[in-house]
Amino acid sequence: MLSSFFSGISGLVANSQAINIAGNNIANVNTVGYKASRATFQDVFYQSIYTSSGSSQVGRGTALSSVDTLFSQGSFESTSEPTDLAIGGEGFFIVRSPDTGQLYYTRAGQFRFDKRGYLTTPAGYVLQGRVIDRTTNTPVGVSTDIVISPEPSEPRATSYIGMAVNLQSNCQWKGVVPSSLSGSGTSISSVSPSAGKYPVAGDYTFEVTENSGTYTLRVTVQRRGPDGNLTGEVFTYEGLIEPNHTYSNFQNSGLDIITAPNLQEGVQTMTVEGFVYSYESSTRNPISTSNYSSSITVYDSLGQAHVVNVYFRKSHEDAATGNSTWEWMAVLSAADSATNRDTLVGWGNLVFNNRGLLISGGEPRALLFNFSQGALPGQKIELIFGSKSGGGASTQYPIASTTNFQTQDGYPPGVLMNVTVSSEGVISGHYSNGQIIDLYQITLAKFNNPQALYKEGANLYSETVESGPAYTNSPGSGGLGKINPNSLEQSNVDLATEFVKLIVAQRGFQANARIITTTDEILTELMNIKR
């Protein structure tokens, strides 16, 4: 009979523990990331007794079997803080103790930057993540402390310029034909540009030869580029001539040639000027000798801004193929050049077919820039006009010249303005220079047996032998949930359920107390038998 005392006591103990668990859940109903617990019970050791029907067993009460943590998803509360984070699905944030270096795990995503730039919990535990490589823009290495320095971000020197322009196919010819010719011959009275045509800029030789009273004019041109040097290209135009005659667009040379009244053998020369990159004359400069120009700001090794002016001039047309050649030149003005004078950095050709499509010259062209103000000399910048510009290839159509697209990859140093977090856990810094730089990716952990994690308090869990090791991955990968920024996961405690459990535990406690008082009364009656 005395065993019923112990059965009742076991019930009192077990139900009081159930009340403690329910009370703890209710106390944490507003705790961020809190996971409710539940009590489960089991019967205990049984005593064998003999009955008329044979051997039977009588129980000795109950015991608390386990306290299970309920890792069901809690509801989300929206906040205005970008570093308030909630996990939608499985997984735990990984945080490091600043004192011991030990790793802990939590569902509470209240993170803030401390005075040193570490992203921490309110208790100072540092959130863990992987650094994102600036070149590949992918996470590298192992998880480490997430720390974002308030110092200015490093500048990035420009390495390429992408530019897509439309150049007006029927633009005005920009060049200068001299008023007189030099040399020993006198057969050519004057030379002038043909209307709507594009004579080649370079050194011209006019050679007149006579054969049986027939005179032939051979025009040879050695082309000169915008840098003033010979390009190695030679153009030849040849045809019969008569005295005192005007030849419009002689042999598709783009020149109107007037012959003298008397023809004789001889050689005359002249130079047709095209691009001029010097600003020494108000009429002989890039602006006056180009058909179109476009400017773009680039950055040197110190993050200082400089303006690169790109000028375009229609050089000539090929009568046989219908292709048009344009010259371009990139110029640094004196204020931006280390030489303190206007500098031609480079030039090249763009060739368009008779459909206005770029067929040559649009590939990346490496230019070396020597900027002013102490920047690293010899900065290489690729200039791209073709399909790799980022905005399509340049074109030549009979509409006004315009810049359809331009870009460059440099920027000055910037001050951190704020951070954002993506659903994949990527922490990006937004800087005053307009750059958005991916800095870290948060690492999440999961366990085969999360029920066996040890509760440390302060919303922290630690790994145990029974829980197994932590398996880490990025949010949204390997069965882990994604990140919800500007959100906090609320406690998953259900008050209605907890109150019902509280009532059941209370009644259980009362019933077990009645077992003890009933047994006590029976023993009292037993003692009264002797009286």
Per-residue pLDDT of 277-311, as tens digits, reads: 776 666 678 888 999 999 999 999 999 999 999 99
CA-based nearest residue to 2, from 508, 511, 526, 506: 526
pLDDT at 488: 95
User: Which pTM value belongs to this model?
Assistant: 0.71
> 418 with 177: CB under 8 angstroms?
no
Domains and CATH numbers, the chain: 3-71+492-528 (no CATH), 79-153+415-489 (no CATH), 160-170+290-408 (2.60.98.20), 182-272 (no CATH)
pLDDT for residue 279:
65
Task: Tell me the sheet residues that pair with 461.
Answer: 105, 455
Distance from C-alpha of 401 to C-alpha of 384, rounded to nearest angstrom: 18
216's enclosing H/E stretch is strand 214-224
| Phi, psi angle pair for 494, to nearest 5° | -105, 115
Q: Strand 160-166 relative to strand 379-384: parallel, antiparallel, unpaired?
A: parallel
- The strands making up 160-166's β-sheet, listed across from edge to edge, are 365-369, 379-384, 160-166, 402-408
pLDDT in tens, 136-176: 999 999 999 999 987 888 899 999 999 999 999 999 999 99
User: Using CA atoms, how far apart are residues 344 and 493, in angstroms rounded to an integer?
Assistant: 73
Spatial CB neighbours of 22, under 8 Å, sequence gap ≥ 6: 498, 501, 502, 505
The 10s digit of each residue's pLDDT in 66-124 is 888 999 999 999 999 999 999 999 999 999 999 999 999 999 999 999 999 999 999 99
Please report, to the nearest 10 degrees, the dihedral formed by the alpha carbons of residues 159, 162, 163, 164 taken in order: 170
The pLDDT-based confidence of 49 (bands split at 50, 70, 90) is low
* Torsion sign across C-alpha atoms 467, 473, 478, 479: positive
| Residue owning tokens 């309110």 | 122
Question: Which residues on neighbouring strands pair with residue 351, listed in sequence order?
Answer: 325, 360
